[in-house]
Amino acid sequence: AAGGVAAVLDDGFHSGEPSPEQRKALDAQLAGARPETVRQLLLLGPDGSVRAAASREGVVPPTRFAAQKSAGGLDSYRDSNGSWVVLVTLPVGATRHRVAAEAFFQELYAPALASFSRLFVVDLCLVLLVSFLAYRITSAAVRPIESLSEAARHIAQGQFDHVIPEPTSQDEVGLLARTFNDMMRRLRGYQSEIEAANRSLMERNNELKQAKETFEQLSITDGLTKLHNHRFFQDHLTREINRVSRSDEPLSILLVDIDDFKSLNDRFGHAAGDELLMGLARIMNDTVRESDLLARYGGEEFVVLAANTDLPGAYQLAEKIRTNIAENSFIVDESMRPMRVTVSIGVAAYRGNRRTFFQAADRALYQAKAEGKNCVVTEPDNPV
């Protein structure tokens, strides 16, 4: 456009106004040279005035300020409608005139903006695709590791029934997951074995505990009469003496001996004697009180330790035992003939000395034997 305009200008026109013919030629030259994207093409004189113009919207000359502002090069500004306008000025040959091209910013850069938009969309799609692929790759790598971490947490809590989904890959992570599952299966097997061993051990412990309790019970029980034995009586006597020494409560003892037991044993046999001992034990056990201790002292002798019982009370208990035995009949042999049995009982009260306590009851028992048997005698120094 600048070259065509320079051909129209002459030396006399360089500083003056163009003639109507020249303006018409210049307008035609500018109209033919105006690109579609340019809103208008202007010929500016040396003073910045518009000498000729070509516009797609009719002649729309810019303000002098805009023309002066665009004295050369590239500039942009807002027009009266507020739209951004780009103004480019170029010199016309050796003249002092300039050609100014005015275009809307959006139209001028529309191809670039469209290309940029397309490029942005393509780049965005590429970024999203790469992000998705990275996510898939990262998930594929991290998920097995998270499964291993979760399984390790279950093991730390003692839970061995957790199974990791085994990946189909043959890489190191897949090998680690399969190895981990093998370890879990072995741990479950070991746990089952340990639980079975613990159950067996608990059963053995229960059996040993029961056996111990049975043995302890047998060690203090008379095997024939099922009463407490001599050993238990001595231990219980010690505890009772310690107790009454602190509380000052009364304590009495009864020594019970079967009358003529040796002759009965020789006449009917030892088996009959054992039957008789068991029958007498049952009667005496039904007669004594819950607070009393009944024990087999040895042979045909029994002992009753009466807690919180004075000498008169012990005498009444002894008489009750003697009467119940005398009134009962016993069948001890195959003849099925009923047999009567009597007992002699010596009674004594505790007076501060363990040895004299038992000796007093023993003397009273011998006294009962000497007085004809089948009777109760209290300690000689304190007759009832």
Q: Is 342 helix (H, G, I), strand (E, B) or coil?
A: coil
What are the tokens at 219?
Answer: 């060690």
Question: Which 3 state secondary structure label does DSSP give 290?
Answer: coil
Q: Which amino acid is at 270?
A: H
CA distance 381 to 266: 36
Query: Distances from the Cα of 99 to the Cαs of 50, 226, 243, in angstroms?
Result: 10, 138, 134
Q: How many CA atoms lie within 13 A of 141 on its CB side?
A: 6
Beta pairing class for 343-349 and 376-378: parallel
- Strands 292-298 vs 329-330: parallel, antiparallel or unpaired: unpaired
Torsion of CA 202, 208, 209, 211, to 10 degrees: 150
Structure-token pair, residue 171? 């890489």
Q: Which of 295, 287, 279 is nearest to 318 (CA)?
A: 287
How open is the CA angle 18-21-22, to the nearest 5 degrees? 40
**What tokens appear for 334 in the block?**
């195959």
Is residue 67 a contact partner of residue 75, using CB atoms and an 8 Å limit? no
H/E stretch holding 253 reads strand 251-258
Query: How far apart, in whole angstroms, are the C-alpha atoms of residue 150 and residue 158?
Result: 13
Three-state secondary-structure class, residue 377 = strand
Q: For this structure, is 300 an active site residue?
A: yes
Contacts of 126 (CB under 8 A, 6+ apart): none
Q: In what order do the strands lie in the sheet with 301-307?
A: 292-298, 301-307, 251-258, 343-349, 376-378
Catalytic residue among 300, 301, 327, 371: 300
C-alpha closest to that of 299 among 343, 262, 347: 262
Q: Catalytic residues, which ones?
A: 300
